[in-house]
Amino acid sequence: MKEAVKEILKAEQEANRRIAAAREEANRLVADAEAKAQALLEEGRARAREEAKRIVEDATKAAEERRTQLLEEAAERANELKESRKERIDAAVEKCVRRILEVEGLG
C-alpha cells in the first residue's frame, strides 16, 4: 500500500508539474498574442498616418495648382479689362479732342 500511495503522490506531483507548465505556456502564448496584436495596431496606425500625410500632401498640391490657375485667370482678366478701358479712354480722349477742335473752329 505504501507503494501505491507513493505512486499516487508521484502522479499528483507530475500532474501539478504539467499543470504549471501548461499555465506557463498559456501565459506565454497570451503574452505573445498580445505583443503581436500591439505590433499590428502600431503598424496599422503608422500606415494610417502615412496615408493621411499623403492625402494632405495631395490636397495641398491640388489647392496650390488651383490657386495658381485662379491667379493666372485673374491676371489675364485684369489685363483684358485694362486693355478694354484703355481703348475706351483713347476713344473718349479722341472724342474730346474732336469736340474741342470743332468748338475752336479748327476741325
CA distances from 95 to 81, 92, 100 (A): 21, 5, 9
Confidence of residue 5 (pLDDT cuts 50, 70, 90): confident
Map out the domains of the chain as residue ranges: 1-76
pTM: 0.55
Better-predicted residue by pLDDT, 5 or 58: 58
